[in-house]
Structure 1
């Protein structure tokens, strides 16, 4: 398992020898054994210690022990876990230098090897001590994250805001704020020493105006009240780009401490989960150094060839080896890019989902006026459904149920609701029949008219005893007026109607008067209740 990976550039006054000296010091401190730095620099096949640990080193050097450039060097230390049987820790320190006077690119990788899946004890993320030794004594170049703690106040917050979403930033930012008593959840200086090289620690002092800072930075990129906000680098996605953030609020920090977990280890774990892979791609591993050593040997063999044919053979072998290695490197880089882009898009999608969940939670916890209106409008619908299930649907409920289910096909005027209420008050008994007629009206009948059908199809759908295309010829002036309804300022005469029952009783008789509007393809219902007088 990859636990920790880091990479940074060094430019010590003593050059390569100074770095090797610090590695030798680290081995001595961890294993309680003195290691000759010159032997370490020239390469150690394997050195066993009394506790079972093993040390090895590899370097691209010539027969005189001098570096061959581009220079590659790697030290590997392996030892068993003192607490967890079956687990082995592996630390690798890699050095790469392109020319004698160039900076030294240093990489550190810490991982574990388990003998089987039965080794399941949790691993607490830690930073190898060699990182602190190299950073402290070997002069890291400018621009290395967390060489010092950055302090953000309202005076420089605008400049910091520009830095947050700048595409050149390749490392996370860790904002740490004070609680009300002016205490940080973890010492910024301690956090800086743990994150040096992989993340930049940013402290917001107790005297800073966090409200104004939030106005400048935005809520997403702010931290206050003893919280820790981790802001990862800007990532381009198919939708544009974003900066992923992880906010540890004071309650969460207290919970972590109560579970006997170090908050510094938690922060380091969150960050390395995102940064380990990119740093590991830049690591000068033992395998990579082995390939460089092989190339150097082939080049020396080619130079010592005794004939042009032998030289040509070596050159061909070198070129083939170089081409294969380059092809492999290009393929790996392509896979890394594809993986990075896929992860960025995934993180962006998760960020959007989290945002939608947050917005939805806000709506649910703080209902506004519109939300309350929608909830109030659903009450009659819920009651109608309950009435259907109970088998005692009223005429008004049947009408409202149709209005909701077929809002794209019908318009029910207030006059229809009033007439339905009036029939219900007088004991209307045929709510189920009314609902069935309205369903046919909004389904089969509407579809027939929308497709250019007419009265003949309507009679087939409802039957002659239910559907009437027109009223009696002896309709009086008042009777006509009763069948006139106003819709959008227009007078509609509704003589088409559905009917049930013939008694002069509002409890037994039903008439549904409507008008078909061909242009919007809408059925307008003006009356739903007792028989209208002629």
Structure 2
């Protein structure tokens, strides 16, 4: 299984020999054995190390002698998995230098080899530690992504949007935002280290105005409240430009971490799923070095045969050598063409996906009489919610789901609201009908009153005398205020406005719906929908 593949350009002071020395030190540290860099550079057929791993290497030339360019080198380290029987890990490093003094291309590939289909233990995606060591020591090219963590704030929003939309960008941007408590779900520098060479890491620090940033860059390209968003390079559909994204929400990240998984590993997996295959084609593998060596030997034999005193007698053999050499070059050209065709088809598939997305966006804005197909597609989620509600016992969670589907342009239910509804249902909630009535009024008559510019004193009349409260009592403690504080898109809101029914100290027979009106978005944000919150 291909786990990781990547390529870098380095300008080490000591040329390829310096990189090979780092490879030897890295292997030695991992295997707790000494590996001679000079011997590795000359080529090792097979070296068994102290920990049971195996090291091999090959090269087109001896660094101690005058080199013939392009110079190629490859090394491969294989070792068994200490935890999973029947699995072997293989790390390959390849080098290419076109001429003396030129930058050195370095490719790395990590894969596993299983003895049979019975080896099914999950794999945590990672990258070789050698990557970070080489980046620190061997002067990577200035345009290598992921050399430093960048920051997104109000001042850099325009520059960030330009980078998002830049056609020449060939790497993802990974946004990592602060949670409501002020911390990142993973340290940005740690994430940068894992993604170096593959993606740029952009941190959205606490305290910035995420609303202002979103106004500039768009919601699709943002991350809030501890979320991580991967923004892939620009694609061009038939109608518009499009950036695919992978959004990891705070609740999903919390589940991930509680399950003992690594967030940086999951982000790396999301990126390498798209980059591994083309990167593996560029990889300077042992097979490519062997092919270059064979080509060099065939060329040398041809030159020797042509210069021989018996050239006439060797004509038949020279022709065979030439034919073999041409066959090698032809197969290599055919393979490159197949890969180019695959990349073109893959590009076409992604463009079609972008077009499908754009069409869906267009259809979502059509009026009901613009076409039955669009209407039916829009009604499908509503049908499912309605059928679910009437065919089984109503629950608070089902009511919330229905209202979120009916009024997505007016009501926003935060994860905290969903969680509180589920908690009430687990305790035998009996007021689903009342909850439906209150939420429906909130999304219709109350929302319309606020849109007309009417204040709470007038708007609350739509609920009757006792169902609405604009604020809590003056005796609200700091703890009570904290319970009523909810984070929406990076901002904390103290939601004292609430709808109420019942006074018992019972999750089954008491309902409180805390919300906040955001006039800039023309939406009501619901932070809590469930039990009575303590004062």
- TM surpasses 0.5: yes
CA distance in 1, matches of 2:355, 2:237: 12
Report the Cα offset of residue 255 of structure 1: 1.4
* Rg larger in structure: 1
Cross-structure match for 1:399: none
Does the 8 Å CA contact 1:303/1:311 hold for their aligned counterparts? Answer: no
TM-score after normalising by structure 1:
0.64
Check conservation: 2:240, 2:358, Cα contact below 8 A: no
Q: Is the 8 A contact 1:176 1:229 kept in 2?
A: yes
Partner of 2:531: none
Paired position in structure 2 for 1:254: 254
Instruction: Give the corresponding residue for 1:231.
Output: 231
For the aligned residues, what is the CA RMSD?
A: 3.0
Partner of 1:244: 244
Distance in 1 of aligned mates of 2:318 and 2:162 = 52
Q: Contact 2:176 / 2:201 at 8 angstroms: preserved in 1?
A: yes
In structure 2, the CA distance between the partners of 1:73 and 1:179, relative to structure 1 (3 Å rule), is: same
Are 1:46 and 1:56, in contact at CA under 8 Å, matched by a contact in 2?
A: yes
Larger CA deviation: 299-308 vs 93-102: 299-308
| Alpha carbons 1:62, 1:68 under 8 Å: kept | no
Q: Is the 8 A contact 1:302 1:314 kept in 2?
A: no
Partner residue, 1:336? 339
2:142 is equivalent to residue 139 of structure 1: no
How many aligned residue pairs are there?
A: 371
- Give the 3-state SS of the residue equivalent to 1:72 in structure 2: strand
Query: Any idea what SS the aligned residue of 2:181 has?
Result: coil
**d(CA) in 2 for partners of 1:117, 1:95:** 33
Once the two structures are overlaid, the 10-residue window that deviates more, 263-272 or 336-345, is: 336-345
Question: Cα offset for 1:349?
Answer: 4.4
Deviations 1:20-57 (Å, cap 9, x if unpaired)? 11001001011111011111000000111244311100
Q: Cα offset for 1:311?
A: 7.8
CA contact (8 A) 1:295 1:318 kept: no
Spell out, residue by residue over 1:373-424, the C-alpha distance to the aligned partner (whole angstroms, 9 max, x if none). x99xx9xxxxxxxxxxxxxxxxxxxxxxxxxxxxxxxxxxxxxxxxxxxxxx
Find out whether 1:107 has 2:110 as its counterpart: no
CA deviation after TM superposition for structure 1 residue 177, in Å: 1.1
Counterpart mapping for 1:363-374 below 5 A: none
Q: 2:527 maps to what in 1?
A: none
How many Å apart are 1:321 and its aligned residue?
Answer: 4.2
Aligned mates of 2:113, 2:45 — CA distance in 1: 20
Tell me how far 1:60 sits from its aligned partner: 0.4
Match runs of 1:63-212 below 5 Å: 65-212=65-212
Question: Matched residue of 1:301: which SS?
Answer: helix
Kept in 1: contact 2:108–2:283 (CA 8 A): yes
CA distance in structure 1 between the partners assigned to 2:88 and 2:144 by the alignment: 31
1:329: how far off? 3.1
Q: Is the 8 A contact 1:234 1:243 kept in 2?
A: yes
Inter-partner Cα distance in structure 2 for 1:319 and 1:162: 52
C-alpha displacement of 1:262: 0.8
Cα distance in 1 for partners of 2:323, 2:244 equals 43
Q: CA deviation at 1:169?
A: 0.9
- Please say if residues 170 and 233 of structure 2, whose CA atoms lie closer than 8 Å, have aligned partners that are also in contact: yes
Cα distance, 1:226 vs. partner?
1.4
Give the drift of 1:353.
5.4
Q: Is the 8 A contact 2:302 2:322 kept in 1?
A: no
Q: Is the 8 A contact 1:188 1:201 kept in 2?
A: yes
Matched, 1:16 2:16: yes
Question: Is contact 1:238–1:345 with CA below 8 Å preserved after alignment?
Answer: no
Change (3 A) 1:199 1:162: same
Query: Hey, what's the Cα distance between the residues in 2 that align with 1:238 and 1:164?
Result: 19
Query: Residue 13 of structure 2: SS of its match in structure 1?
Result: coil
Counting only pairs closer than 5 Å after superposition, residues 422-441 of structure 1 correspond to structure 2 as none
Query: In the superposition, relative to structure 1, how do residues 185 and 352 fare at CA in structure 2: closer, same or farther (>3 Å)?
Result: farther
The 1:361–1:259 alpha-carbon spacing in structure 2 relative to 1, beyond 3 Å, is: farther
Matching residue of 1:324: 327
* Matched-pair contact (CA < 8 Å) for 1:5–1:107: yes
CA deviation profile, 1:479-513 (whole Å, cap 9, x unmatched) = xxxxxxxxxxxxxxxxxxxxxxxxxxxxxxxxxxx
Instruction: Determine if the alignment matches structure 1 residue 43 to structure 2 residue 43.
Output: yes
Deviations 1:147-166 (A, max 9, x none): 11111222222122122122
Please give the secondary structure, in 2, of the residue aligned with 1:304: helix
